[in-house]
A and B are shown apart, each in its own frame.
Chain A
Amino acid sequence: MKLPKIPQQIISLFILLLVVLTGFLFARKYFTPPSFGLYGHYRANAVDEIKARGMKYAGSESCIECHDDIYNLKAKGYHKNVACEICHGPAGKHADDPSETSPEIPHDRSKCTICHDYNLARPTGFPQIIANQHNPGKFCTQCHQAHNPTLPHTPNECGACHREIASQKMVSHHASLECTTCHEAPLEHLTDPRSFEVKKPMTKEFCGQCHARDANSPVEIPRIDLQIHGGRYLCWDCHYPHNPEANR
């Protein structure tokens, strides 16, 4: 029986394909790390390499052995969950031989602002400052005790803690309003903000006291028909009350 003639092109391409495939398989064998895929989709040896790098942190438990007074003080305060080395840096060497190296004692403002600089994403009530506006030039530890932080004095204004809101309100059409015009703030909020929370307006009618058609307020204030404006949405779904122009 005579076999059908295989075209020259197919033979050439087949050889090329074989070369490419063999090249690929060899390259794959050569370039894939031997331990790849042992535990998952990564190089298993990487785990040992990372382990071999040595420990830099000692862990809070080792600090207690010598500094129990500070630990006990800290355990009662707001910083009870902040590990020592977060502010003092890795102290592995110090724990091994206390006489040789000492951990850093942060005096500048850079460490505290890691947590306390203003950031929108931080939870409400978390003490935050805008570093450039908050006693510029002073070190944090001049007024605050880092191991048991409490306010050096009762805040005089809301902006002391709610600086970003105050800064926005300051340049908005609501600048002349006191915070307490809209928020009901118990006096205790100043000293214990988490236990005594500030109340926010809940209904459209609250804004309507100034902005409704029939409101008894100065004529230059923008008016809306409270019944139809914005449908079922509340005022602050569209307007940011601390800077109501921003979302127009």
Chain B
Amino acid sequence: MHPVFSGYIYPNEYELHWGLLIVIYPYLTGLVAGAFILASLNRTFNVKVLEPVYRLALLTALSFLIVAPLPLFSHLGHPERALEMLWTPHIGSAMAMFGFVYAWYLLMVLLLEIWFDYRKDIVIYSQEKKGVAKYFYRILTLGATDISEEALRFDDRAGKFITIIGIPSAFLLHGYVGFIFGSVKANPWWSSVLMPIVFLFSAIVSGIAMVFLLHMITDMFRWKTPNMACLNKLAEFLLYAMLIDFSLEMLDFIHRLYESEESIHILGDLIQNRLFLSLIISQIVVGTLTPILGIIVARFGNLPDEMRRMMYFLSTILVQVGIFSTRWNVVVGGQLFSKSLRGLTMYKVQVLGLEGILMCIFLLVLPFIILYTFIKILPPWPHAETK
């Protein structure tokens, strides 16, 4: 058993300031950026086989984006002050710019793209539905009820244009989160220019895996046989993203090792002691190498479809475990060693309270409830299937 702390710790380092909620924040924003980039594969890069997950990916991104700032509200307290960073912007502070990065991504990218893509459906619903639903959809049309061929062609072109803007925006959103950590120059575990890039690729991995998983689950509940061509393509993209992500993380690791700055000993200690389970076991072995192997075998092995789907399913769950561990290792790991580089402290998770496990479970479940609602309002499947 570890003692609570070992070696030399400064008095203000006994207690960690960024806990579970700040672990969840990059995890959620990562899922948003990843899901959106997956959607853009279909739209911008014309990977037609991914058509069945396009809308689901957009709705997933939106659901997680709505929840993304909640961990911050809960951590900081005073959610009523949140908008003050929009009224009185402090352009010298990266953290204070979050409101603008978020608003841009929500209003100018995601909502717009979803609206253009669903506009035809919304207009049809506003004509077909009865009662309150009719008026609800009518409001969603924003008065644009023209669904002539020419108008739909325009929708398509606009959607494509927004996706092209959306890709750098998604990179900005999650690169920004990595930037916040990477720019803490006093912390050798965080301070790295590679941080935004590593964050971005892990975001793409988690987003693709989440949509992949949701696609299989929603198909299961709708008694549909999943489109294997689509699943195989998703598996390929997930595999490539994981390989790039893992290589980048290894590059970062080797670079630190070769640089061997004065912090290398305490970081080595950190990995061998405090983070052994969450980094070596959970992130690398369970969350990266096992799913990579699983996907390679499932995708390129000679397996029946049923078995293949089962392996995809398990692999994508493991990827989520791995990426969550990545966030944990960055956020919590970065605070477990003393700035004196001479000692390690310990993080104790609370159960109750605004920073506790229950709150975190709530914040992790909430996006799925929101997604369920969105799917009810704007079914992501083709019109014929919905009926």
Please, which residue of chain B has its CB at the minimum distance from the CB of A121?
B11
Residue of A nearest to B340 (CB): A120
Q: B154, A7: Cβ atoms under 8 Å?
A: yes
Q: How many A-B residue pairs have CB under 8 A?
A: 58
Q: Is B3 an interface residue (CB 8 A)?
A: yes
Interface locus among B138-146, B237-245, B282-290, B317-325 = B138-146
Against B, the Cβ 8 Å flags (1 = close, 0 = not) of A5-31 are: 001110111011000100010011001
A-chain residues with CB within 8 Å of residue B143 when the two chains form the complex: 8, 12, 15
The 0/1 profile, CB within 8 Å of A marked 1, for residues 193-222 of chain B is 000000000000000000000000000000
Q: A120-B11, A246-B7 are in contact. Are A9 and B87 (CB under 8 A)?
A: no
Q: Are A7 and B84 in contact (CB under 8 A)?
A: no
A9 contact from B3, B9, B107, B158, Cβ within 8 A: B158
A36 in contact (CB, < 8 A): yes
Q: Does A32 count as interface, using CB distance less than 8 angstroms?
A: yes
A41 in contact (CB, < 8 A) = yes
Residues of chain A with a CB closer than 8 A to B83's CB = 27, 31
Across the interface, do B155 and A119 meet the contact criterion of CB distance under 8 Å? Answer: no
Q: Are B86 and A24 in contact (CB under 8 A)?
A: yes
Q: Tell which of B7, B88, B107, B146 touches A8, judged by Cβ atoms closer than 8 Å.
A: B146
Within 210-247 of A, Cβ neighbours of B (below 8 Å) are at: 240, 246-247
B86 proximity list for chain A (CB < 8 A): 24, 28
Q: CA–CA, A218 to B88, complex, Å?
A: 71
User: Is A27 a contact partner of B87 (Cβ separation < 8 A)?
Assistant: yes
- With A28-B86, A31-B87 known as contacts, the answer to whether A12 contacts B144 (CB < 8 A) is yes
B277 located at the interface, meaning its Cβ lies under 8 Å from any Cβ of chain A in the complex:
no
Name A118-137 residues within 8 Å CB distance of B. Answer: 119-121
Q: Is the C-beta of B64 less than 8 angstroms from some C-beta in chain A? A: no
Within 8 A of A (CB), among B47-75: none
- In A22-66, the 8 Å CB interface with B consists of 24, 27-28, 31-32, 36-37, 41
Interface residues in A, total, Cβ within 8 A: 23
* Residue pair A8, B144 in contact (C-beta under 8 Å): yes
B84 touches which one: A9, A11, A15, A31 (CB < 8 A)? A31
Q: B90 touching A120 by the CB < 8 A rule?
A: no
CB closest chain-A residue, reference B107? A20
- A31: B residues at CB distance < 8 A: 83-84, 87
Is B10 located at the chain interface by the 8 A CB criterion?
A: yes
A8 touches B11 (CB 8 A): no
Contact yes or no, A9 B88, CB < 8 A: no
Q: Which residue of A lies closest to B146 (CB)?
A: A8
A5 closest partner in B (C-beta): B150
Determine if B116 is an interface residue (Cβ-Cβ < 8 Å). yes
- Which residues of the other chain, A, contact B144 by a CB distance below 8 angstroms? 7-9, 11-13
Q: Which residue of A lies closest to B96 (CB)?
A: A41
Residue B151, interface by CB 8 Å: yes
Chain B residues closer than 8 Å to A13, beta-carbon distance = 112, 142, 144
Residues of A within 8 A of B146 (CB): 7-9
For A32, list chain B residues within 8 Å (CB). 87-88
CB within 8 Å for A247 and B6 given contacts A8-B151, A9-B119, A9-B144: yes
* Contacting residues, chain A, for B155 (C-beta < 8 A): 9
Q: Once the chains are docked, how many angstroms separate the CA of A11 from the CA of B145?
A: 12
A120 touches B8 (CB 8 A): yes
Are B7 and A41 in contact, with the CB atoms below 8 A?
A: no
Closest to A27 in B: B87
Contact call B10/A120, Cβ cutoff below 8 A: yes
A15 CB, min distance to chain B CBs, angstroms: 8
Question: Which residue of chain A lies nearest to B90 when distances are taken between CB atoms in the complex?
Answer: A41
**Provided the pairs A16-B142, A121-B11, A247-B7 are in contact, do residues A9 and B90 lie with their beta carbons within 8 angstroms?**
no
| A41 to B93 CA separation, bound complex (whole angstroms) | 12
Which listed residue, B88, B107, B154, touches A37 by the CB 8 Å rule? B88
A26–chain B nearest beta-carbon distance, Å:
11
12 contacts between A and B (CB under 8 A): A7-B144, A8-B143, A8-B146, A9-B155, A9-B158, A12-B143, A16-B142, A28-B86, A31-B84, A41-B90, A120-B8, A120-B10
**Hey, which bits of chain B sit against chain A, CB under 8 A?**
3, 6-11, 83-84, 86-88, 90, 107, 112, 116, 119, 141-146, 151, 154-155, 158
A-B pairs, 4 with minimum CB distance? A12-B142, A12-B144, A9-B144, A8-B144
